[in-house]
Amino acid sequence: MEDAIPKDAEILITIVFDGILGINGDGFYLSEFFTSNKSSRYLASTQFEPASARKAFPCFDEPALKANFSMSIVREKKHISLFNMPRVHSIPRKNNLVLDTFQQSVKMSTYLVAFAVGEYKGKSKLTKSGVNMTVYYDRTSLMETVDFSLDAGGIILDYFNTLFEVSYPLPNLDMIAVPYHIAAAMENWGLITYRKPYLVIPINSGYGRKYRAASVIAHEIAHQWFGNIVTMLWWDDLWLNEGVASFMQYLGLQAFDNEWSMENFFTEKINSMMSEDFTNSRALNQPVAVPDFSIFNGVTYAKGASIVRMVRGLLGEKAFMNGIKTYLNQNKYSNVVSDDLWQALSNSSDDGIDLKAVMSIWMGERAYPLVTVRRNNSEIQISQEPFILKNNTISRTTPITKPLNMSVVKDLLNYMEKETDFLPWFSASHSFGILIKLRLKDTKPEVKVLMGIYGESDQEDKFKSERQFPKYSKTFH
């Protein structure tokens, strides 16, 4: 290069690149399906998450390095081609080929780029929010088998548009059934890929099949906001994508069918989180040097969703949703870390809760807390320890400092009227043994912190000053 490039100059770099069309479900790959007469057909599609876009085109393959992508695809006339964005025009070429050119994409991460070429057909509808939604399927499937997915997708997309008050930014949302997919689905922006059973639903399908399909659809559409519009800075904060989307999917499910109550079905996430956390325990937030599929596990999804639900319960529905809207609006087309979410949610609360301080404990520790409550006549003793199995590497002597959320009844009559007074979150280490004692006196409970018995003598004073309870003495009434 003869001359220096001026600062902030825009340059065009052309690179000749030969990629590999694989068969293992990663990168740009082929998958096979069969017609009714047993003839084989192929779909070429992509799976770039977490770091396989580099297998299809030269790029800096990191989530923080976002760009606008332009795409042209040459295909045979009998095929269709798809990209994240709508097609602008098609130009016939020699040898029965067609050149498709697409709109330039919004600013997005490389792992969200997607394209597909195959002998497929589609069925479309316009959602109430004006998005053109199309379900694409191979020619062996009947058109009516995509009606359920098309209806669910449209309702859920419209619901999230209203709920988040951040409009879905693309003119299209395509969903395509892929013969072989390494995951249940992938949230590529504007072109979601699915395993066929989650998108092609026969009319006589049972309740369970429809519920599982709607769950996956709701999860992937939630990702259009959590992961696509706002993206984690690096893979050690993957839970910001997967955990939050796993929580939001239940809101979307309930919007699609109000018989699918969020609270009823959320128990499956709780059970999944507990199972994963005591058999293969890991912190929700931990360093990731080289991203691979091992980071997509039950802790990331289920424990992440459970923590989001817990925070919603702490803040209340209104403050929680206000914080979520702020988080999305302030970070559109950008990258975030966990503290950005905690800050947005903290700012939405009138109670002055510092979620960054509180949640750092939940994010950084393995296992989940087992709270044991023992009643001895008029006394209630509460203790806390990590829930572990015999073969787990966590010791029972390992301190766990996750907060306890206490609801204390001030007056029995008020309790009967369902009015309670809440003590805010506070940290309590199980290594102190008996932590809290509630002594019932007539109708008014007396709450005493007994950390000083097994710990330092200043624990109670420290608790008071840190949590700013000037109206309370060491014994809370």
Instruction: Using DSSP bridges, classify how beta strands 87-93 and 475-476 pair: parallel, antiparallel or unpaired.
Output: unpaired
User: What does the block give as tokens for 425?
Assistant: 């979150």
Tell whether 242 is in a known binding site.
Answer: yes
User: What does the block give as tokens for 290?
Assistant: 């080289």
Can you say whether the dihedral through the CA atoms of 66, 71, 75, 79 is positive or negative? positive
φ/ψ bin of 227: left (φ > 0), alpha (ψ from -120 to 50), beta (otherwise): left
**Catalytic residue flag (residue 379):** no
- The residue from 62, 220, 276, 385 that is catalytic is 220
The dihedrals phi and psi of 256, each to the nearest 5 degrees, come to -75, -40
Tell whether 219 is in a known binding site.
Answer: yes
Burial-class residue 259 by CB neighbours within 10 Å (0-12, 13-18, 19+): exposed
User: What does the block give as tokens for 441?
Assistant: 């006196």
Tell whether 181 is in a known binding site.
Answer: no
Place of tokens 């992961």: 227
CB 182 within 8 A of CB 45: no
User: What does the block give as tokens for 457?
Assistant: 């003598």
> CA-to-CA distance for 442 and 298, rounded, in angstroms?
46
412 contacts: CB under 8 Å, gap ≥ 6: 443, 444
Annotated binding site: 219, 223, 242
Instruction: Give the residue numbers annotated as catalytic, written as ranges.
Output: 220
Annotated binding site for Zn(2+): 219, 223, 242
